[in-house]
Structure 1
């Protein structure tokens, strides 16, 4: 780790709270070992789990950094003794269990990927968390196939904009929900076949009308709460629902007869606590199947706004306003 500073600026959470709880601190550089690499961060993505961590509701996994930040892009600054793929100076983007809100971040090299040449560092930092999540849950766990009907809630979120593009690229008919006419129009321009304004429309009725009452084959949901029963109604016979968050609540009273009568599968997952080998398998699939689409310009992260690293509080305020369309990124 020659020619590297001994300390770095990082954004810490001394006490849980609102956006103002994010405080710049001086920290020592992370120490790497084994097959880890140290990344000189140029940009870091902001995600909803960062907000939950800041609020004290989503503690980092054991042995992960206490700093928020689940995705970064930058240049390799140092490599561990067992790292073999990347060398100092390589441009990479990476999924990390924490520590992204900093000038330097360490990550297992199998959880890093070459930065697509078609993307800037800022755009590349907006890729890992959403692309890993969507690939794992829509294509691996959800088993989406060409010709199927797919519904993703929150179409203008980072997850939503990614899911719309990837599902469309792999041959699905895509439905989504969003708040307001402007956001719905954006989703349809991005590739959704139908965007439903959840503020003025019942998405169950809209989906059933658009599918001759058949419903959709797969639903990706981060809302939970009262959406669970409504998703079951919107699903086709034999449909699958994948739960990745519960923004409207984690508990709900529900009629299981719908599940049985329609032979539904309702599953779910979280990404951050999974081990590096699991994340490495997703990285390999993305590099093989999605990176060519990014390089060809067929799929691209949708960018909302950028903030300086030390303005992380403003970035979180932007996310919590729910006015954003696409990804919010911190630049270093």
Structure 2
């Protein structure tokens, strides 16, 4: 099969054998690939695949099931699906754990399907499993114009929460508002702590891929018993922490990643997400937030778009 290699940080087509299925897996003929920052980091040699996962890039895709492992229900054959992948999505075919599959509704395109799994499951886990967000509460979502941010905005609004986001341009703030954000703060021109204090806002759940200097700022505008969920550390890996504020407000701090979770964790997360939000996805109540689609031969440009922080939403590669 054809796949995209990432030797020497350059993306280029190469050939390898099709995956050999384990009994619990299916073989997906890939139609579209969601591009994520983790892919960029892996290409750069900064985020190696966990032991046992495919060394090929790609953590999510949409496509059609063409082969089944011996333990998999026969009804999955020929289904259109979207799914997380344990690597390997940047290829014509990828092996996927059958219990992580989600059926792609007929009127949802492959490109839209490829933009769902990683960001919606990440946002769902952060906001609801760890963040414990409830109706009537307030969510603060940093990088609100990102793929995860867009998913988080829409699920939080669906759950009846007030949504505050930060983003780096006025256009990205406007994009977040169009997705449903109640307050959108351009962090380059407005301090989010000052804005929230001026508007009498405190956050019950905070989704933060920035970290660094944001930790103490988050604590300043946190409500009592706030859950802060760190997904990355774009502002740096070290920070001084005001523990007095954390204690005073009984703040819980979570550091969470999805890629290196166990297969059982991902299955359970998928099941919880499907039970709560799949019907709304199937009914197309959400904007799937696709910023740009590119042929998969333009994978280098797709990575460059993310590395320039150009995108508001997901970049998707279409397999020819």
TM-score interval (norm. to shorter): over 0.9
Counterpart of 2:73 in structure 1 is 84
8 Å contact kept, 2:179–2:287? no
Counterpart of 1:60 in structure 2 is 49
Counterpart of 1:169 in structure 2 is 158
Which of residues 231, 242, 249 in structure 2 aligns to 1:255? Answer: 242
Distance 2:284 2:85 in 1: 25
Counterpart of 1:12 in structure 2 is 5
Which piece of structure 1 moves more, 189-198 or 231-240?
231-240
8 Å contact kept, 1:116–1:291? no
Confirm or deny that 1:240 pairs with 2:241.
Answer: no
Which of residues 251, 256, 259 in structure 2 aligns to 1:264? Answer: 251
The unaligned stretches of length 5 or more in structure 2 are none
Distance 2:91 2:189 in 1: 41
Render the CA deviation track for 1:82-120: whole Å, top value 9, x for unaligned: 112643211111101200111101110011110123310
Structure 2 SS opposite 1:119: coil
Aligned residues: 319
Counterpart of 2:307 in structure 1 is 320
Distance 2:223 2:259 in 1: 30
Confirm or deny that 1:184 pairs with 2:173.
Answer: yes
In 2 relative to 1, CA 290–60 (structure 1 residues): closer, same or farther, beyond 3 Å?
A: same
Structure 2 SS opposite 1:290: helix
State TM-score, norm by structure 2: 0.97
8 Å contact kept, 1:153–1:178? yes
Once the two structures are TM-superposed, the CA of residue 323 in structure 1 deviates from its matched residue by: 1.3
The unaligned stretches of length 5 or more in structure 1 are 1-7
Confirm or deny that 1:224 pairs with 2:211.
Answer: yes
Counterpart of 2:129 in structure 1 is 140
Counterpart of 1:73 in structure 2 is 62
Distance 1:157 1:118 in 2: 24
8 Å contact kept, 1:177–1:198? yes
8 Å contact kept, 1:38–1:79? yes
Distance 2:312 2:109 in 1: 19
In the TM superposition, 1:280-295 aligns within 5 A as 280-295=267-282
Structure 2 SS opposite 1:28: coil
In 2 relative to 1, CA 202–71 (structure 1 residues): closer, same or farther, beyond 3 Å?
A: same
Which of residues 267, 273, 298 in structure 2 aligns to 1:311? Answer: 298
Distance 2:83 2:184 in 1: 31
Q: Which runs of 4+ in 1 moved over 3 A?
A: none
Confirm or deny that 1:48 pairs with 2:41.
Answer: no
Counterpart of 1:3 in structure 2 is none
State TM-score, norm by structure 1: 0.94
8 Å contact kept, 1:73–1:121? yes
Q: How large is the Cα RMSD of the aligned pairs?
A: 1.2
